[in-house]
Structure 1
Amino acid sequence: MKIIHLADSHLGFSSYSRLDEHGRNRVEEMVYSGFEKAIDKIIEAHPDAVVHAGDVFHHVRPKIKPLFIFQRGLQRLVQAGIPVIIISGNHDAPKSFNQTSPFRLFEGIKDVHIAQRYRYECFEVDDCSFHCIPFCLEPQDYLVEFEKIRRSGRDVLVMHGMVESLKNQKMKSVGEHELNDSLLKSDFDYIALGHFHCQAQVSANAYYSGSVEYFNFGEAGDVKGMLLVDLERGGVSSIQVKPKYMIDHPPVDCTGMRSDEIAECIMELSHEDDILDRMVRINLKNVNRSAYRSIDQGKLNRLGASAIYFKIRADFSDEEDRIERPVDRRMLHVEFGGFMEERRLANQIPESIRGEVMGYGIEVMKKAVLARQKESIDAS
């Protein structure tokens, strides 16, 4: 028997406020298209069953569009004759008994099995038992529900949460529960986990499939997609759904860099072919604040026009933030000359008037120093 294991679709997730030509959030639309591409890949592989290990939706009360996208995906799988097993995760499960699960809308669909009621449920598909423990209201409930499991011969366990061995990777999301490592029993043929967005093997038979999409730059280095599991041979292989499209560049040390050098560094990492339809973050450290402000900010803003999202994160040098460099008032005209030179290098002063501006400004600075000494000023 072969199954495809996926999780954490987060339909309805939106971020970064970048809109497409129709006024729709681009990231949200990417999440929908990624889910539909995942359905394409599943139908192409035609497994004996599909397991979704939780967080189908990003919100417990999803809007119409994520509900529609999910329904259309289910219908395609059912029409292809592929049984579906789903559990609710911490994002799409109500946090109290008086709320209604969005999965109630999909109950009764042939060959679609959904565990959503905070308790253990078992679904039989061919000769395999899928033991499902969805999101529970209290962390201790998982052990209680686990004790209800009775092995049948071929058994797959499906859960949603962060296992103890990965607790340093906690995502700090609402309702995040820790799963005791004692639940990862070796006598299951396979353990399908959801919640952690990176593909990861946590024991001999337990895997996180990861998410199809990137949801923040902390995931930029993660492997994304689904897992194809061969229960007969015990093999697990990754299925890539979309090419890598999030790039978080390693920090560039800008110690001692002038504005033109910082700008050149940014431009080197921002070629249109490298950022087109991607999410890109450029990280700068030890940046001179004055030098950075001297760069043409409008030009920087235009750099990311072809990207889904483009961010320059500049960490300014601690020394500059803590200490103001002392300036000799008698040398203000020299300071002004250096300031204007940085503006010229950033193409903020036309060459044709540079000399005139410099000359006038230096004279004003000299008069200011003299006036300070006389406690008066004449800038006429």
Structure 2
Amino acid sequence: MRLLHTSDWHLGRSFHGVGMLDAQADFIDALVDTVREERVDAVLIAGDVYDRALPAVDTVRLLDSALERITGAGAVVVLSSGNHDSAARLGFGSALFERAGVHLRTRYEDIARPVILPAEGRPVAIYGIPYLEPRLAAGELGVEVPNHFSVTAAAVQRIREDILARERAGEPVASVVTAHTFASGGISSDSERDLAVGGLGAVPLDLFEEFSYTALGHLHGRQQLSPTVRYSGSPIPYSFSEARQAKGGWLLEFDGGGLASVEAVTWPARRRLAVLRGKLEDLLADPDLAEAEEAYCQVTLTDSQRPAKAMELLRTRFPDTLVLAFDPEGGARGPAQTYSQRLAKATDDLDICCGFLEHVRSRSAADEEKDLFIEILNKVREAEAAQ
């Protein structure tokens, strides 16, 4: 029995203004190939299949195609909702989809209703915990204190009771749980968004220890919290903080005794990410940066003054520079001042104009710019004198 653990597809998301739908379609191609080549029996999607509650039409079509292709390749799908998904909309038609091998877990009442996959020895029971917003889930789950720990613990308890009932009935199972949450021990990156207003609500790792495997979603870096509790991470990078991460999922193998092995599956991204730092002249000349010419780039310039037309010049070599920052080497510019502080120190009208220009673009006025200011100020004075 083979399962493929994925999460955080975020279909429909953009990357610094660049649409990602084509890159997401590439990832789905790679996933379907993996399902066929590895003879995967079930694909797990641990939340955030969409990037927003109301996805665009093209995004919905992409998911529709993905589900049809995965099931057509011989695997069932178990999809639980995340904090970016609309549980009600994603769960539409769940009873009908189940007949086609797509099992949606978006409702509290389905938490303890597993997808049973027959296997030699013990069958595999897959339980899906949808994202639990504490204020909404507490009442449904009979919890008095609405926080992430309490609602997750209540959901896990329901699953434990179902597993125990099966054991008492002489039908033991290997248990797999999907959940979209922040488990303590995970390492976050910039493109995740907080699960709780005012702070991230973490749940302790030991909540999941007794299950054969827990497939987590929410953090975008693939990581192992314990041998049986892991994040698959997002299938493609969604922030420059993920530039060095290998993207993919986890391939699980079950035998008659339970979980036998877990191995990483990596899918190459359509475009790599490059994080560059240095002086503009050096970046444009450095031969070691040739690979970055085909990458999406985040550039931090360390010139003592912000170079003129910096983005335009960078894009002559790195056409897909998406983010440009300025951090003078050694703090050459000194402490930041507000414009009011600059204005208080100005000695004349020319100083005011040049100070404003420097404030808004982090570069002193060039000689020709000063000459232009002088010409304009003289014309203003002449007009005032004429009045």
> After the TM superposition, which residues 204-353 of structure 1 pair with which residues of structure 2 at under 5 Å, given as runs?
204-232=227-255, 234-243=260-269, 245-249=272-276, 251-252=277-278, 262-268=279-285, 273-285=290-302, 287-289=303-305, 292-294=306-308, 298-305=312-319, 307=320, 309-316=321-328, 318-322=331-335
Question: Match for residue 55 of structure 1?
Answer: 48
Alignment counterpart, residue 77 of structure 2, candidates 68, 79, 84: 84
SS of alignment partner, residue 265 of structure 1: helix
Give the unaligned 5+ runs of structure 2: 135-147, 164-171, 338-365, 372-387
Q: Distance in 1 between matches of 2:193 and 2:49?
A: 18
Q: Aligned pair in 2 of structure 1 residues 153, 107: CA closer, same or farther (>3 Å)?
A: closer
Aligned letter for 1:77? I
Aligned letter for 2:127? H
Q: Distance in 1 between matches of 2:34 and 2:154?
A: 36
Aligned letter for 1:245? R
Question: Match for residue 144 of structure 1?
Answer: 154
Query: How many equivalent residue pairs?
Result: 309
Question: Match for residue 13 of structure 2?
Answer: 13
Question: Match for residue 360 of structure 2?
Answer: none
Q: Does the 8 Å contact 1:210/1:225 carry over to 2?
A: yes
Q: Distance in 1 between matches of 2:231 and 2:80?
A: 14
Question: Match for residue 114 of structure 2?
Answer: 122
Give the unaligned 5+ runs of structure 1: 19-24, 95-99, 253-261, 325-348, 350-356, 365-380
Q: Distance in 1 between matches of 2:287 and 2:322?
A: 9
Q: Distance in 1 between matches of 2:232 and 2:70?
A: 19
Alignment counterpart, residue 101 of structure 2, candidates 86, 92, 111: 111
Q: Aligned pair in 2 of structure 1 residues 297, 208: CA closer, same or farther (>3 Å)?
A: closer
Q: Does the 8 Å contact 2:6/2:250 carry over to 1?
A: yes
Q: Distance in 2 between matches of 1:80 and 1:322?
A: 60
- 1:200-247: CA deviation from partner (whole Å, max 9, x where unpaired): 000121111111111111212222111111123622111111147112
Question: Match for residue 359 of structure 2?
Answer: none
Q: Does the 8 Å contact 1:32/1:66 carry over to 2?
A: no
Q: Does the 8 Å contact 1:189/1:231 carry over to 2?
A: no
Aligned letter for 1:160? H
Identity %: 20
Q: Aligned pair in 2 of structure 1 residues 323, 173: CA closer, same or farther (>3 Å)?
A: closer
SS of alignment partner, residue 22 of structure 2: helix
Q: Does the 8 Å contact 1:167/1:178 carry over to 2?
A: no
Q: Aligned pair in 2 of structure 1 residues 53, 298: CA closer, same or farther (>3 Å)?
A: closer
Q: Distance in 2 between matches of 1:219 and 1:297?
A: 23
Q: Distance in 2 between matches of 1:106 and 1:277?
A: 42
Aligned letter for 2:128? C
How far residue 199 of structure 1 moved from its aligned partner, in angstroms, is: 0.9
Q: Does the 8 Å contact 1:41/1:241 carry over to 2?
A: no
Larger Rg: 1
Q: Does the 8 Å contact 2:311/2:324 carry over to 1?
A: no
How far residue 310 of structure 1 moved from its aligned partner, in angstroms, is: 3.8
Q: Distance in 1 between matches of 2:203 and 2:95?
A: 27
Normalised TM-score (structure 1): 0.71
Question: Match for residue 34 of structure 2?
Answer: 41
Question: Match for residue 178 of structure 1?
Answer: 202
SS of alignment partner, residue 211 of structure 2: coil
Q: Distance in 1 between matches of 2:316 and 2:158?
A: 58
Q: Does the 8 Å contact 2:21/2:59 carry over to 1?
A: no
Q: Distance in 2 between matches of 1:270 and 1:17?
A: 28
SS of alignment partner, residue 226 of structure 1: strand
SS of alignment partner, residue 104 of structure 1: coil
How far residue 116 of structure 1 moved from its aligned partner, in angstroms, is: 0.4
Q: Does the 8 Å contact 1:9/1:35 carry over to 2?
A: no
Q: Distance in 2 between matches of 1:205 and 1:164?
A: 14
Q: Aligned pair in 2 of structure 1 residues 212, 296: CA closer, same or farther (>3 Å)?
A: closer
How far residue 88 of structure 1 moved from its aligned partner, in angstroms, is: 0.5
Question: Match for residue 166 of structure 1?
Answer: 186
Q: Aligned pair in 2 of structure 1 residues 131, 267: CA closer, same or farther (>3 Å)?
A: same
Q: Distance in 1 between matches of 2:310 and 2:244?
A: 31
Q: Distance in 1 between matches of 2:223 and 2:195?
A: 22
